[in-house]
Structure 1
């Protein structure tokens, strides 16, 4: 894609004066490779080794990205619960602490989506952590994932938060979600 790079000089507080601005076009041979890397939001290379070991254990017999995603999705949706109290008090600058989430197995959508992305990326599945809105409830900010299915060459939308809640109520879930049910604002 095309990216705008700006170098700014701090003027006062959080105000900057643009010194240099340039648009650059980036072409990648494999666009999915960006979603295998560690970054500030999904730092899987420096994550708790228990999480990475668990991901490897869950996917040891899986051959495809779809099989790996289903194994990790199943584990998360069976073992983690939504924390309604945390959802009410969470700040806008909240960053998941996966060590805590992995241990207490209770959190909000950002925790679920980050754990899903970390586990999938650590076993070689290109995975996006996506933020935005559920089109059925556009007033509540939400986080979910998309993983790359190499057999169809398409991104597949999954939502471990929603599915864990539905599964806990005893209802059946549909693994793949419809893209139309989500409004994407950011993807990492």
Structure 2
């Protein structure tokens, strides 16, 4: 009897089942939509709290970078100042060394005159008692002094980086 009723009214029963299924689906969709809205509101509230914290962290990071750069620039300026003072002192000391250890140039008669004569024997006018020594030009002595000063100041700068980094 029920089977005959179902077979006779299958279109109507199928429509009712489809309507019930649609009602259930819409109910779950409304629930999902409401849950999504609540979750969205919660995330917006969290984002509203996170954004100022991110801005504060960015500002602190920029300040830390600026402070570190200022420390390194100060160290570099100190190193430049020390180098300039060291070069001035080295130049003065080198000039004194050159003046104190100058090789007297002999004139044709054997007396020191300050100028080197052109001699036929290939001698550069260096006195005989210094013939076993090397003679270096004043500019070369200054260049060596400058290079040594530069190297020492660069070493001091590099060793000072450890204290600046902390």
Q: Normalised by the size of structure 2, how large is the TM-score? A: 0.20
Q: Write 1 or 2 for the structure with the bigger share of strand.
A: 1
Q: Write 1 or 2 for the structure with the bigger share of helix.
A: 2
